[in-house]
Amino acid sequence: MSPSSPAVPSVGHVESPMSPSSPAVPSVGHVESSMSPSSPAVPSVGHVESPVFPFFMFAIVNKRSPGGATHHLTTRLITEEQPLHLSLPAFTKRRERNIITSLLKESKSNQAKMPEGPHIDMDRSNQPLLRRCDNPWKPNAQHGQSEVYRRMLGILNRVTQQSLGVFLEQARELPLSDPTHLPHILSLLLEKSQDEPMFAPIYARLCRDLSVSAGIQRDLTTACEAHFMENYQQLLHYNDIFEGPISSQLVDEEILARKRFVGHLKFMSELYKVGVMSSNQIAVMAETLLQHGDDRSLEGLCRLLSFAGLGLSQSHEGLVNQSCTYLENRLGDGSLNLRLRFLTQDTLDLRANGWRPRGGDRIHLPPSRNVRG
């Protein structure tokens, strides 16, 4: 070391020549160094009589270059037999290897002590057979899973307001008027429209163009009327079922049936707006709902008036007045629950406002995805 460089404290056994002018530095353990008589003596911390150190004691020696700058650090591992120079990473890897080996031995011994689990018989001859249904589903043309059906299903799943023209050209290429595929296509349209009422305007515009090009308007309207009566009879059936014991599963099924019925009313109203269905057909459905005095028919009447009340008030004003009078009487007798009371009041308010929803005069622009301000 140079005379001007200060001494660096060390841990463990350090043998380093020091100049007479460099001050002594306290060390941990026994320090053997050649010091001049003029350097003052400094008491050591943890003085050890013997130069023999335990196995885990090692010293970090700060080696310096001749210019005085720090060059690198080395580690000296000291054993009882002789000092052994070993780098710190190699020592760490050896310790980790020993620890992993001991853990593996311990885990194997623990696994040997664990009790065996239950024996599983893999022989299927002793296992009970699964019960098969009487009419399992099979992918064939009889169930509507033809190529035309799959392509039409893909069009309905991907069509949007912006891509309606593109998918309309694809739908026109399909043989929709073929009697083999037409019933399945109509059933698919009705199922998708009632399960996804938010896309009813798009499906109605698609059906309008297809009914002109493929000539399926009469078949479509007939299927809509038949589907309306089928869903309505199923909904009325819950009036008798709910007189007995009620389960949570039965309540969920009734809610799903009401949602599907309302979705079908929404789709027929959109078909009426685009000219596929006539006002007389919508009026017949309103009269059917008006004949029954139950709560589910009242809900259907309110929904139908909210969807197509503007057009019916122009062509069948007497029917609309009769329906609104019936709603006012039901609202005044106090026999409705809160949900139906609010729904009935909203329908009457909608008529009083000219069949325009609240805030209907405002124009709400759709949000743009690429907006730069």
pLDDT tens readout for residues 37-57: 444 444 444 444 444 444 444
Q: What Cα–Cα distance (Å) separates residue 65 from each residue in 20, 69, 73?
A: 19, 6, 12
When the pLDDT of each residue in the chain is averaged and rounded to a whole number, the result is 75
**52 lies in a domain?**
yes
pLDDT tens readout for residues 290-344: 988 889 999 999 999 999 999 999 999 999 999 999 999 999 988 899 999 999 9
DSSP string, 155-209: HHHH--SSSHHHHHHHHHTS-TT-TTTHHHHHHHHHHHHHH-GGGHHHHHHHHHH
How far apart (Å, rounded) are the C-alpha atoms in residues 179 and 206?
A: 20
Q: What percent of the chain has pLDDT over 70?
A: 63
**10 lies in a domain?**
yes
* Token pair 């353990």: residue: 29
Instruction: Record the tokens describing residue 215, joined without a space.
Output: 């000539």
**8 lies in a domain?**
yes
**286 lies in a domain?**
no
Confidence of residue 32 (pLDDT cuts 50, 70, 90): very low
Going by C-alpha positions, the residue among 295, 291, 292, 319 that lies closest to residue 305 is 319
How far apart (Å, rounded) are the C-alpha atoms in residues 349 and 137?
A: 48
Q: Which residues pair with 268 in a beta bridge?
A: none
How many domains would you assign to the chain? Answer: 1
Mean pLDDT value across residues 137-166:
80
Given a cut of 80, whether residue 264 has pLDDT beyond it is: yes
Distance of CA 83 to the CA centre of its chain: 64
Distance of CA 283 to the CA centre of its chain: 42
Instruction: Provide the 3-class DSSP secondary structure of residue 102.
Output: helix
Instruction: Record the tokens describing residue 131, joined without a space.
Output: 């019960």
**94 lies in a domain?**
yes
**341 lies in a domain?**
no
* Token pair 């593109």: residue: 166
**295 lies in a domain?**
no
Contacts 24+ apart (CB under 8 A), 273-279: 273/204, 273/308, 273/311, 274/204, 274/205, 274/207, 274/208, 275/208, 276/204, 276/207, 276/208, 276/211, 276/217, 276/220, 276/221, 277/221, 277/224, 279/311, 279/312, 279/315, 279/316
Mean pLDDT value across residues 217-243:
91
**236 lies in a domain?**
no
Domain that holds residue 9: 1-99
